[in-house]
Amino acid sequence: MPYTKESYIKHSKNSRTLDMYVRLCDGKIINKTEESERFGVDERSIQRDIDDIRTFLSERATGNSGDVREVIYDRINKGFKMTGSENSNMTNSEIFAVSKILLESRAFTKKEMNSILSKLVDGCVPLKNMKLVSDLIANEKYHYVELRHKSMIQDKLWEIGEDIKEHKLLEIKYQKASGNKKVIKRIVEPVSIIFSEYYFYLNAYIVEKDEKKRYIHKYDYPAIFRLDRIMDYKEIGETFRVNYASRFEEGEFRKRVQFMYPGKLINLKIKFYGDNPEPVLDRLPTATVIEQTKEYSIIEAEVFGKGIIMWLLSQASKVEVLKPDSLRQEIKQQLLDMLKRY
């Protein structure tokens, strides 16, 4: 196709409009007089380019793309600027909050954390805000302290996550937390991955073969394995069936578990001394207040295992266990053992 004067003018207009659009996206101010001198056209041409950009943004908004940007005239700076943002981009406050949570979690090695934060900022933050967000988290990135295990776990997270989705039985080699760091081997049905208190955990039913050589659950509740302590894992070439009527539900489990300690379901009843039971209700999502006075609240909740003991002890004299009696006696014994150390 011959390169005519008409195609040259069209090409120039398109380039000019795109150039201004990119600079508007970057937070720049577009002044008609300056642009007309820059491109060698009159100000009416620049105004038509601005109108084209406005039409483009208006059509995107009408098309329910989540793009709520528009070009307005800024009288103070005597030029046009873009306001609003695309839904795909996180706001300054969102990216800052997510970055803070990630850094506070200490879930990854320093190398992994720096990589994740860089990708998060580069991929989600509008270009004009990148330096601001980067500067806000720079100090915490520099002083970030990784956990002592220093294990790279991103690949492990993804691969075991796929095994969960595809219902594949796994053989894992797991290093226990005891002083001798003994490594044990288990065959498990992986059902979920949960993050809590600095670590990622695998929830999985330990299985063993019955007399018919079928894999069955060893316990009626899932075991909990800290992901960084899984030294090795492999598929054994078999899958397991999921009974959807009684399937493991991660959200319900999380409501009832404390500090990722497994165990049987406990119906807990406590007396909380204080005029506001909110700290208990926030910590125990299944909790309900069944009686309340100015001095105390009686609260019931469902919890898994003995991790609840750690939380109850952290509340000192604010909490008294009423039921079950076995837990009440165990708390009492813990307090006596603690007293002996002093």
Query: Residue 124: which residues within 8 A CB-CB, separation 6 or more?
Result: 89, 90, 95
The tens digit of pLDDT for each residue in 186-230 reads: 999 998 888 877 888 888 999 998 888 888 888 887 888 988 889
Q: Is it the case that residue 146 has pLDDT exceeding 60? A: yes
pLDDT level of residue 80 (50, 70, 90 thresholds): very high
Q: Is it the case that residue 127 has pLDDT exceeding 70? A: no
What pLDDT does 305 receive? 66
What pLDDT does 14 receive? 81
Q: Is it the case that residue 66 has pLDDT exceeding 80? A: no
CA distance 53 to 69: 11
The tens digit of pLDDT for each residue in 233-287 reads: 999 998 888 766 566 666 666 666 666 666 678 889 999 998 888 888 888 888 8
What pLDDT does 85 receive? 66
Q: Is it the case that residue 8 has pLDDT exceeding 50? A: no
Q: Where are the alpha helices (DSSP H) in the chain?
A: 5-25, 32-39, 43-62, 92-105, 110-124, 130-142, 154-165, 250-256, 278-283, 307-314, 325-340
Q: For residues 50 and 259, which has the higher predicted lDDT (pLDDT)?
A: 50
What are the residues facing 175 on neighbouring strands?
183
Q: For residues 4 and 112, which has the higher predicted lDDT (pLDDT)?
A: 112
**Residue closest to 319 by CA, chosen among 251, 250, 258, 252:** 258
